[in-house]
Amino acid sequence: MSSEPVNVNDFKELARSALPKMYYDFYAGGAEDEHTLRENIRAFHSITIRPRVLVDVSQIDMSTTILGHRISAPILVAPTSAHMLAFHEGELATARAAAAAQTIMVLSYSSTRSIEEVASSCDAVRFFQLYVFKRRDITALIVQRAERCGYKAIVVTVDTPWLGRREADMKNKMVAYPKKNLEGLMSVEINSEPGVQLRTFAKATVDASLSWKDIEWLRSITSLPILLKGILTREDATKAVEAGVDGILVSNHGGRQLDFTPPTILVLEEVVQAVKGKVPVLLDGGVRRGTDIFKALALGAQAVLTGRAVLFGLSAKGEEGARTVLEMLKNELETTMALSGCPSIRDITRNHVRTQYDKLQAML
Ligand SMILES: Cc1cc2nc3c(=O)[nH]c(=O)nc-3n(C[C@H](O)[C@H](O)[C@H](O)COP(=O)(O)O)c2cc1C
Ligand SMILES: CCCCCCC(=O)C(=O)O
């Protein structure tokens, strides 16, 4: 690309040129036919915006709070693994980019920089993402480390009892990357072929028996708020609220787990209605534009998280790239709010969007 990137898709192309194919495919790819991966993005395109005019938009305020923490805009950094494959400073650079954008980064348990290193990289509010391991003692230890290092919430990923089949990784014979947080705690040696090492590792370590009763156990090991990541149905949203969690993240893991799960933006409203405002509902999956963020907020999300957009920025231009991506998304959201007649986040309502379902209803 000869000109400077002006949007996330431009950064995706830069990332494609900057990275070895194996790493690019690991970041960009999804499970099996990648139907959900594509639909996450396409579904945003099926929703139109109903702008209101003659509203005073001379001042736009995108700031909001998540679990009591003020952020500059409702865009968080989703937990993604292995940032050192993108840039030598890895998650340290991402953490600084998130801090510069005055937002929250959720650090992946499978980061290539440790919980402690990221905590001391810069001053910011951060959350920690957790997989529950068969070794519950090690799980508890990791949570304690995150708590001690000042992380403000635990985001428990519940859509990964097994790792999804990522066929690009199989074809590329993707190699395992270091799991910094597990060093000295458990063996990360994997006796399997490149291409399936991550799946083999997940099968050996992640507790596939995890179930609703274990939320109580999670509660017993931390005083931090607990969010569940990977909820896609009203049934599970209701159970999550009953189990006493502090927040829900509507997510299909960016289309990397079960293919043919619905695009997150299309099930957001179902979850929001089931939750009845009892806990915050967040969304990730396919967010590439400020208009996507606006649509998610209109359908009831308190904020969105973005995974690949930040990875593309980091791969293309390191810390500056990750920061630029976050700033671009903020700028696009700001423009969308101004052009839709919404000077603040609370002015964005259900009436500001029209879904395919709304169109069908109107025809009845
Ligand atoms: C390369 C990559 C690694 C990821 N690693 C994790 C992880 O370690 N833990 C987790 O809960 N989700 C992980 N995810 C899923 C993200 O948290 C998020 O759900 C997804 O990226 C959102 O979709 P998007 O990439 O379209 O924004 C990963 C996603 C990608 C692309
Ligand atoms: C122990 C499970 C490995 C998880 C790998 C990171 C991840 O979630 C991903 O999508 O990749």
For 259-312, write each residue's pLDDT tens digit: 999 999 999 999 999 999 999 999 999 999 999 999 999 999 999 999 999 999
**8-19: buried (b, 16+ CB within 10 Å) or exposed (e) per residue?**
bebbbebbbebb
Query: Averaged over 107-128, what is the pLDDT?
Result: 97
Is the minimum distance from the CB of 164 to ligand 1 under 6 angstroms?
Answer: no
Is 288 labelled a binding residue? yes
- Least distant ligand from the CA of 107: 1
Q: How confident is the model at residue 176 (pLDDT cuts 50, 70, 90)?
A: confident
* More confident of the two residues 194 and 28: 28
Query: Averaged over 154-161, what is the pLDDT?
Result: 98
To test the ligand 2 pocket, which listed residue (198, 253, 261) has its Cβ within 8 A of the most ligand atoms?
198
Is the pLDDT at 165 greater than 70, yes or no? yes
User: Whose CA is closest to 7, among 284, 333, 303, 282?
Assistant: 333
pLDDT of residue 188: 67
How far, in Å, is the centroid of ligand 1 from the Cα of 359?
32
Residues marked as catalytic: 253
How far, in Å, is the centroid of ligand 1 from the Cα of 79?
6
pLDDT of residue 57: 98
pTM over 0.90: yes
How far, in Å, is the centroid of ligand 2 from the Cα of 109?
9
pLDDT of residue 138: 96
How far, in Å, is the centroid of ligand 1 from the Cα of 1?
26
pLDDT of residue 196: 86
Is 289 labelled a binding residue? no
Q: How far apart are CA 328 and CA 330, in angstroms?
A: 5
Is 253 labelled a binding residue? yes
Closest atom, ligand 2, to C-alpha of 206 = 1
**204-214: buried (b, 16+ CB within 10 Å) or exposed (e) per residue?**
bbbeeebeeeb
Is the minimum distance from the CB of 284 to ligand 1 under 6 angstroms?
Answer: yes
Query: Averaged over 134-158, what is the pLDDT?
Result: 98
pLDDT of residue 3: 87
Query: Averaged over 218-247, what is the pLDDT?
Result: 98
Pairing of strands 69-71, 64-66: antiparallel
- Please tell me whether residue 320 adopts helix, strand or coil conformation: helix
Is the minimum distance from the CB of 119 to ligand 2 under 6 angstroms?
Answer: no
Is the pLDDT at 189 greater than 80, yes or no? no
Q: How confident is the model at residue 217 (pLDDT cuts 50, 70, 90)?
A: very high
Is the minimum distance from the CB of 202 to ligand 2 under 6 angstroms?
Answer: yes
Is the pLDDT at 131 greater than 90, yes or no? yes
Q: How confident is the model at residue 194 (pLDDT cuts 50, 70, 90)?
A: confident
pLDDT of residue 334: 99
Architecture per CATH, domain 8-46+65-339, reads as: Alpha-Beta Barrel (3.20)
**Radius of gyration over alpha carbons of the chain, in Å?**
20
pLDDT of residue 186: 81
pLDDT of residue 333: 99
- Please tell me whether residue 106 adopts helix, strand or coil conformation: strand
Is the minimum distance from the CB of 12 to ligand 1 under 6 angstroms?
Answer: no
